[in-house]
């Protein structure tokens, strides 16, 4: 059951990832990218990491995809124009992929065979975040607040005129 589901989700995710990379129409590529995020969330669900899967949909489909789409709308005048094939992108993608695969295959600490999956509850994640990892969490919070204030200052209109 899990293997079948894994195969289906993998094919689904890969299809949309390929579509995102190769679709000549930019907006279609961006939307395929959003669908791919749903596929990745499905992987997390299969692994029993319900919380991460939900956050994946929440943050990536709900926010990042909208952000990407708006960036395309606001920065390019030729949304409708079809783009050509980008060979340098292919080279970079292959390099990054190889750079990731090489250490994964080299490493001995990560076993490829899946261990027995024990579902991680939201409560456990909450306790971990509020206990052992509370300092990193607070630091990230401060950093994000600073970024938010910075963004506000950037767009603040000049009242003096």
Partner 1 sequence: MARSVDQIFIYAKGWLLSPLAGRAPDWVIQITSSLINIAAVLGVFLTLFALISVLERKILGRMQNRYGPNRVGPFGLLQPVADGIKMLIKEDIVPARADKVVHFLAPIVVAAAAILALGVIPYGRNMTPFVIDGGILFFFAVGSTTELAVFMAGWGSNNKFSMLGAMRAIAQMISYELPLIITVLPVVMVVGSLNPDKIVSAQRYYSLGFVPHWFVLTPWGATAFILFFVSGLVESNRTPFDVPEGESEIVAGHMTEYSGFKYATFFMAEYLGMFAVSGLAVTLFLGGWHAPVPWLAFIPSYVWFFAKLSILLFVFIWVRGTLPRIRVDQMMNVAWKFMLPMAFTCLVSAAVWHYAGRRLSGWLWSFAVVAIVYLGLSLFLDTRKKFAPRTYRFAE
Asked if 61 touches partner 1 (CB under 8 A), the answer is yes
What is the torsion angle, in degrees rounded to the nearest 10, for the CA atoms of residue 88, residue 92, residue 98 and residue 104? Answer: -160
What is the separation of C-alpha 151 from the centre of its chain, rounded to a whole number of angstroms?
Answer: 22
Asked if 28 touches partner 1 (CB under 8 A), the answer is yes
Burial 84-116 (b: 16+ CB within 10 A, else e): eeeeeeeeeeeeeeeeeeeeeeeeeeeeeeeee
- Give, as ranges, the residues between 66 and 105 that touch partner 1 (CB under 8 A): 66, 69-70, 73
The region of 95-103, 106-114, 119-127, 129-137 touching partner 1 under the rule CB under 8 A is 119-127
Asked if 65 touches partner 1 (CB under 8 A), the answer is yes
- Three-class SS state of 59: helix
For residue 11 the two structure tokens come to 């094919």
Total residues contacting partner 1 by CB under 8 A comes to: 23
Asked if 148 touches partner 1 (CB under 8 A), the answer is no
Binding site for partner 1 (CB under 8 A): 1, 27-28, 31, 34, 50-51, 54-55, 57-58, 61-63, 65-66, 69-70, 73, 119, 121-123
């Amino acid at each position: 059951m899990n293997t079948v589901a894994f195969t289906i989700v993998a094919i689904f995710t890969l299809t949309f990832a390929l579509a995102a990379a190769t679709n000549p129409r930019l907006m279609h590529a961006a939307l395929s990218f959003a669908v791919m995020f749903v596929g990745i969330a499905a992987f997390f669900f299969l692994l029993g990491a319900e919380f991460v899967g939900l956050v994946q949909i929440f943050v990536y489909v709900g926010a990042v995809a909208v952000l990407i789409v708006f960036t395309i709308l606001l920065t390019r005048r030729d949304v409708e124009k079809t783009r050509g094939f980008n060979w340098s992108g292919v080279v970079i993608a292959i390099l990054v992929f190889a750079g990731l695969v090489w250490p994964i295959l080299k490493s001995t600490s990560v076993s490829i065979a899946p261990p027995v999956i024990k579902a991680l509850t939201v409560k456990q994640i909450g306790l971990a975040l509020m206990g052992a990892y509370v300092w990193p969490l607070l630091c990230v919070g401060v950093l994000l607040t600073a970024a938010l204030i910075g963004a506000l200052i950037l767009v603040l209109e000049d009242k003096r005129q």
